Amino acid sequence: MTTNPPLDPASDLSGPGRGDNAIEAKEVEGLSQGQIVWRRFLRHRGAMFGLILLALVAIISFTAMGIGPIPGLWKYQDYNRSNPEILNGGAPTLSIPGFGSGGFAIGEHPFGQDDIGRDNFALVMKGVQTSLLVMIVMSIVALVIGVTVGALAGYYRKRVDQALMRFTDLVITLPVIVLGAVLGKLLSTIPIKLDWSQEVREGISASMPLLLAVMLGLILWPSLARLVRGEFLTLREREFVDSARVAGASDWRIITKHILPNAVGVIIVNTTLLMSTAVVLETALSFLGFGINPPLISLGNLISTYQGAFSTRPWLFWWPGLFIILIALSVNFIGDGLRDAFDPRTKRIPSEREMARTLIKANRAATGGAA
């Protein structure tokens, strides 16, 4: 009776690409596709960092300022209320070990005060809530339009594809920032020119973040539509789609039950990356005065309002800019992790410990099989 020799790292796992593939095959053995994707995503350090950072930003903002009728825990809930008492010239009272004298301390106004005494922490947290709202609503609108247009164009092809893609090309050629500025200006001026009632004007003004998010979704969907179309053009020629047609499945069922689930990776990844674009675009529009304007608060109009204080009170400029960067980077890191998780061609370089663990398991399996 012959026995199988133990696996040798130099011969079995150190060849070009063989070690990575062997370890990955052992790790995902017996797992479903969804479990494999989730496992890859959890092992992506950048994605985990972005997810934790974004969760912390959201938790702090909504815990401090509340949401809807639920009040927050921060004492300055009326963020637009002026305060005649300006402490320490409005400088931040936040103290972090290593960045100042003393230990960690939040103080009365951790992000400082503006020239009329308003608490900058409350303003920034309210701006973070606005940015998150715009980001989520925009992604939903762009997702619905992009997937619908791309799926119909990729599945039906011919005239339907030509008509939808020419319209998509038209939207892509329009400058996004200019189109967003025009639409934002129209949202604020139409109620006045049409002499609508004061109640309607106030309602539109209060809903400006939501309206702006919908408007951005109507602008940013073309890139997603083109990617979905490409996926559908490839998947509609696969054998499982032909089998569904032979079985008598309708076009709607083939699109929603057979092709769309296989294109979900591309959809999720690119929708995530669009979210960071929405945050930056909303900031740019509000900074230029075409987006969310006072008395509503957004990170963009905070930067616009306090740009003149950059040399005298720079903290009024730093904190909104810092949270814009944190939100955009977090979403981008999450998108990168999702892309690597859904892409089967992505290879992760295993650590020495993982290679040793896999070798031990393989040797035990070989020894047990021989016995």
Tens digits of residue pLDDT in 201-239: 767 777 788 888 888 888 889 999 999 999 999 988 888
Residue 315 pLDDT > 80: yes
| Cα distances (angstroms) measured from residue 56 to each of 51, 63, 155, 282, 328 | 9, 10, 41, 21, 14
Task: Provide DSSP, 146-201.
Answer: HHHHHHHHHHH-HHHHHHHHHHHHHHHHS-HHHHHHHHHHHHHHHHHHTT--HHHH
How far, in Å, CA of 183 to CA of 134, rounded?
15
pLDDT in tens, 47-60: 899 999 999 999 99
pLDDT of 21: 52
Beta bridge partners of 70: 67
Instruction: Choose the most confident range, by mean pLDDT, from 77-86, 176-185, 331-340.
Output: 331-340
Q: Residue 112 corresponds to which amino acid?
A: G
Question: Tell me, what's the pLDDT at 49?
Answer: 93
Neighbours of 158 (CB within 10 A): 8
The pLDDT confidence band at residue 297, using thresholds 50, 70 and 90, is confident
pLDDT score at 53:
93
Q: Which of 4-13, 137-146, 171-180 has the lowest mean pLDDT?
A: 4-13
d(CA 19, CA 271): 34
5-26 pLDDT, tens per residue? 444 444 444 444 444 555 555 5
Predicted local confidence at residue 150, as pLDDT: 93
C-alpha span between 278 and 179 (Å, rounded): 14
Read off the pLDDT of residues 19-46 as tens digits, 9 standing for 90 and up. 455 555 555 566 677 777 788 888 888 8
Q: Tell me: the pLDDT tens digits for 94-133?
A: 777 656 556 677 878 888 888 888 888 889 999 999 889 9
Could you tell me the two tokens for 145? 């339009």
Domains in the chain with CATH codes: 57-81+118-342 (1.10.3720.10)
Nearest Cα residue to 293 out of 196, 177, 178, 204? 204
Question: What are the residues facing 113 on neighbouring strands?
Answer: 119
| Cis peptide leading into residue 295 (ω within 30°) | yes
- pLDDT-based confidence at residue 351 (cuts at 50, 70, 90): low
The reported pLDDT for the residue numbered 6 is: 46
Which pLDDT band holds residue 277 (cuts at 50, 70, 90)? confident
pLDDT of the residue at 186: 77
Task: Tell me the pLDDT band of 4, cut-offs 50, 70 and 90.
Answer: very low
pLDDT of 9 = 43
Please determine, for residue 343, whether its predicted confidence score (pLDDT) is greater than 90: no
Residue pair 120/109 in contact by the 8 Å Cβ criterion: yes
Mean pLDDT of 156-180: 87
Task: Select the more confidently predicted residue: 370 or 353.
Answer: 353
Q: What is the structure's pLDDT at 338?
A: 84
The confidence score (pLDDT) of residue 74 equals 86
* Higher pLDDT among residues 258 and 90, named by residue: 258
Please provide the average confidence, as pLDDT, over all residues in the chain.
Answer: 80
Report how far residue 109's alpha carbon sits from residue 85's, in angstroms, rounded to the nearest whole number: 12
Strand partners, 105: 95
Rounded to the nearest 10 degrees, what angle do helices 176-193 and 208-220 cross at? 140
Q: What is the pLDDT of residues 233-272, one digit of tens each?
A: 998 888 888 898 898 888 899 998 888 888 888 888 888 8
Name the band, by pLDDT with cuts 50, 70 and 90, for residue 86.
confident
